[in-house]
Amino acid sequence: MSKDNNLISNKKNEGHNFLAGTATLAITGLVIKLLGAFFRIPLTNLIGEVGMAYYGVAYPIYSLFMVLSTTGLPVAISKMVSERVAHENYGGAHRVFKVSIMVLSSIGLFSFLICYFGAGAIANAVGNSGAELSIKAIAPALLIVPIVSSFRGYFQGRQDMRPTATSQLIEQIIRVAVGLSLSFVFVKTSMEAAAAGATFGASVGAVGGLLTIVLIYFVSRKKIYRQIDSHEIEHERYRTILKQMFVIAVPITIGSTIMPIMMNIDTAIIMNRLQDTGWSLEEATSLFGILSGYCDSLIQFPQVLTNAVAVSIVPAIAAAYAIKDTKAIDANIKIGLRTMMIIGFPCFIGMFVLAKPILLMLYPMQIEGAMEAVPTFMILTVEIVFLCAVQTFTGILQGVSKMNIPVINLAKAAGVKLFVTYI
């Protein structure tokens, strides 16, 4: 009877942890997105379509490198840590964390070198040479954020989302403050310099995020080591951990790179196709700025909330899956899907119906550009529900070690999208 009561109590705690983690990340995500809107809206009003076109080239490139270094591996860390914690192998969980720091630091250094020293070639390749300075300014973040991600993956695996939320919030506050300040200072110099100032905010913000989560780790270290010392340590070889980490991470990373790769190919296709069909470089840059500056950031808003669901659901399901608790798996899946639907459908309907007033309210200093963006924005709102569903189902499948399924389906969708975009 006592054992049954413990099982029931554990299941309740797992559900509570999942909902609490989701709520923590969702609330933080909302605040971060509002700060992002506070950043993008005045920035767009300040530097207009041309400046946003430079910014809009640098950020997808940054996102691509970030996905390569900080998407698959943190999920793998979270999953591997949660599985070991479920079996009370706290020493093994911490060993996974140490391996992850070494791996992600190496990847971060490589990404920084490629992005910084290859900035000119990248900018020319996408048909927007003026974005070179912006790409260089954001490169230092590529060195720092992967290290931060290793800490976040470890805490998420322990189903503690507070360190992730706190570090993300500090990072975003610094990014917004520094990015807007530098953009305001350099706007009189040139649009290229103003856009670079905005992107450099991400690099300074990353430093703030790293310092925050390292501090949290040192504060929590006594409790972590107490758990390790109070349980038998199962010594795993670093090579074994590394192999398992990459087996989990590689399919997730491949799937996650599809979207940023598509964004970068989209940039090249849109810029080059517009010029091929008679638009000048300035006109093509302005039109692309309408898409990237006015629409893209708003469409991504609901995904911040469902991303909280996806991040929280992986360790919750992985822990239950590790001990073959099918009832807990089923309960977490149902909670995740309900939450996703509660978020996705209202966001789609509201943003579609209110597209014009939303854009006019947010961009009062760029009325003409906002009006031009309305039809594009309305079309893009249709994808909200589907993207929210994809995020949630992907998290569920990752939790039960079915990493390949989302990759295959997303690759098929990407092929169709690129074909239609080109036409």
Q: Among residues of the chain, what percentage have pLDDT more than 90?
A: 19
Matching residue, tokens 């810029």: 271
Q: Pick the residue with more confidence: 347 or 283?
A: 347
pLDDT band at 13 (very low <50, low <70, confident <90, very high): low
**Would you put residue 412 in left (φ > 0), alpha (ψ -120 to 50) or beta?**
alpha
pLDDT at 171: 93
HSE, side-chain direction, 13 A CA sphere, residue 153: 32
* Residue of 85, 156, 96 lying closest to 312 (CA atoms): 156
Per-residue pLDDT, 73: 84
Q: Say what the pLDDT of residue 344 is.
A: 87
79-125, pLDDT tens digit by residue? 899 888 888 888 888 999 999 999 999 989 998 999 899 888 888 88
Fill in the amino acid letter for 125.
A
Q: Is the dihedral of CA 100, 253, 272, 283 positive or negative?
A: negative
pLDDT digits (tens, 9 = 90+) for 30-42: 788 778 777 877 8
pLDDT in tens, 216-231: 999 998 888 888 888 7
Task: Decide: pTM greater than 0.85.
Answer: no
DSSP 348: H
CA atoms within 13 A on the CB side of 344: 21
106-115, 254-263, 299-308, range with the lowest pLDDT: 254-263
Q: Which residues contact 201 (CB under 8 A, 6 or more apart)?
A: 39, 174, 175, 176, 177, 178, 179, 180, 182
- How many other CB atoms are there within 10 angstroms of residue 82's CB atom? 24
Q: How many residues does the chain have?
A: 423
What percentage of the chain's residues is helix, strand, coil (to nearest 5)?
90, 0, 10
Q: What is the mean pLDDT of the chain?
A: 83
| 93, 157 contact by CB (below 8 A) | yes
- Which residue, among 58, 85, 421, 103, has the nearest Cα to 253 in the 3D structure? 103
Does 132 score more than 70 pLDDT?
yes
Q: What ranges make up the beta strands (E) of 32-142? A: none
Do residues 202 and 62 lie in contact, with contact meaning Cβ atoms separated by under 8 Å? yes
DSSP character string of 165-180: HHHHHHHHHHHHHHHH
Is residue 229 packed enough to be buried (19+ CB in 10 Å), middle (13-18) or exposed (0-12)? exposed
What angle (nearest 5°) sits at the alpha carbon of residue 205, between those of residues 122 and 392? 80
